[in-house]
Structure 1
């Protein structure tokens, strides 16, 4: 069971609960554009496909219809400015994340992050969490032409680190992570506590379904 050399992680909903910060940024954006604030639970169901889709879903809910291109662009700029101010503030890690990452590193596992979050926000978040040195490679949703559920980012990490996809484990919380891993020929863990648009992650068919991040040790550190 421990036959994985590289572990690729999603970020939001997998390592950190970023909804509080995302909700703050969404609400600042909405208020700036003249709309009412959205509830944090609504934002929890909107995340997972990158910032453009998050902004689009928030605007659609506020308008009751699809927003036009000009409004989407203005909203995205307002969201980015707001999120820049709060993204690395008050970070909340899911239970077991920090200890498990440290244990994997001690065991010689190579670690990477593949998130759909725009890359510009990621380094500050990792730095604030003291994790900048834990991951050999970090990709954001705009680091490559395609993002998850495309397998391209996962395969790019394998090529960059000279690792075999068959000996790589993807760990995420949404159908996007499972689909990307399947298409890349990787095994995948689905975490139940993250953001999967209100659906059960088990329905996506990951190899393992875990409700406790620390249980990764049973998969990765057991021969």
Structure 2
């Protein structure tokens, strides 16, 4: 490979965080006196950042129509969610198979690794430490690190600029349309993973440069 920089998504790509996110979401709903939902429903609401997860949970569906929620309702619910998620131990969040070993192989092979997630940045360091990954990534951005988040290309381009690497020498790796679109919008190659959170859509429909069904196959491709 003639690439230098691998930019990874987090939730749905490296880690399965849905069990903990579901617990926090239902804790929020319980606090607000609302109906709770099974994990399989909440799984379909993850991937666009905490605000969208909260809004989807409040209305009980993926598509939130204009006028269904007031800004004040969503603001309050999001703060309740943050408190609930902060109080969760994180023990239900797990790495997908072969991710731990694969990341270390890629770094040892000379790639620069970065992380760009739509998860609020305040929750990222704790999770990285729990897996011992805090020193793997040269740059880490959360969904609120900049004024915009994926699928906007700005976070990816920001990472490239910070590391002084041309976007043409970077690859965006993720499991959802936000990741693939962000990479395409930044004019970089994209690698899709089919096992994550993509609202039931096959990642291949978004025309990534390549797509894989497991992380080990992606690592083999890059090496």
Which TM-score band applies after superposition, normalised by the shorter structure? over 0.9
Unmatched segments (≥5 aa) in structure 1: none
Aligned to 1:15: 14
Correspondence for 1:131 among 130, 133, 156: 133
Matches for 1:1-223 after TM superposition, within 5 Å: 2-61=1-60, 66-86=68-88, 88-221=90-223
How many Å separate the matches in 2 of 1:154 and 1:138?
Answer: 10
Unmatched segments (≥5 aa) in structure 2: none
Q: Is the 8 A contact 1:111 1:136 kept in 2?
A: yes
How many Å separate the matches in 2 of 1:171 and 1:135?
Answer: 14
Larger mean Cα displacement after TM superposition, 136-145 or 86-95:
86-95
How many Å separate the matches in 2 of 1:124 and 1:115?
Answer: 14
Count of residues in correspondence between the two structures: 219
How many Å separate the matches in 2 of 1:91 and 1:115?
Answer: 15
Structure 2 SS opposite 1:216: helix
- TM-score, normalised with respect to structure 2: 0.95
How many Å separate the matches in 2 of 1:68 and 1:151?
Answer: 29
How many Å separate the matches in 2 of 1:45 and 1:178?
Answer: 18
| Cα offset, 1:192, TM superposition | 0.4
How many Å separate the matches in 1 of 2:160 and 2:167?
Answer: 6
The Cα RMSD (Å) is 1.3
Q: String of CA shifts for 1:60-101, please: whole Å, max 9, x gaps.
A: 118x97222221111101100000122632331111100100
Q: Is the 8 A contact 1:3 1:167 kept in 2?
A: yes
How many Å separate the matches in 2 of 1:11 and 1:149?
Answer: 14
| Cα offset, 1:197, TM superposition | 1.0
User: Quick one: structure 1 residues 87 and 207, their matched pair in 2 at CA, closer, same or farther if it must change by over 3 Å?
Assistant: farther
How many Å separate the matches in 2 of 1:218 and 1:167?
Answer: 19
How many Å separate the matches in 2 of 1:105 and 1:209?
Answer: 21
How many Å separate the matches in 1 of 2:108 and 2:59?
Answer: 46
Q: String of CA shifts for 1:23-45, please: whole Å, max 9, x gaps.
A: 00000000000012111011110
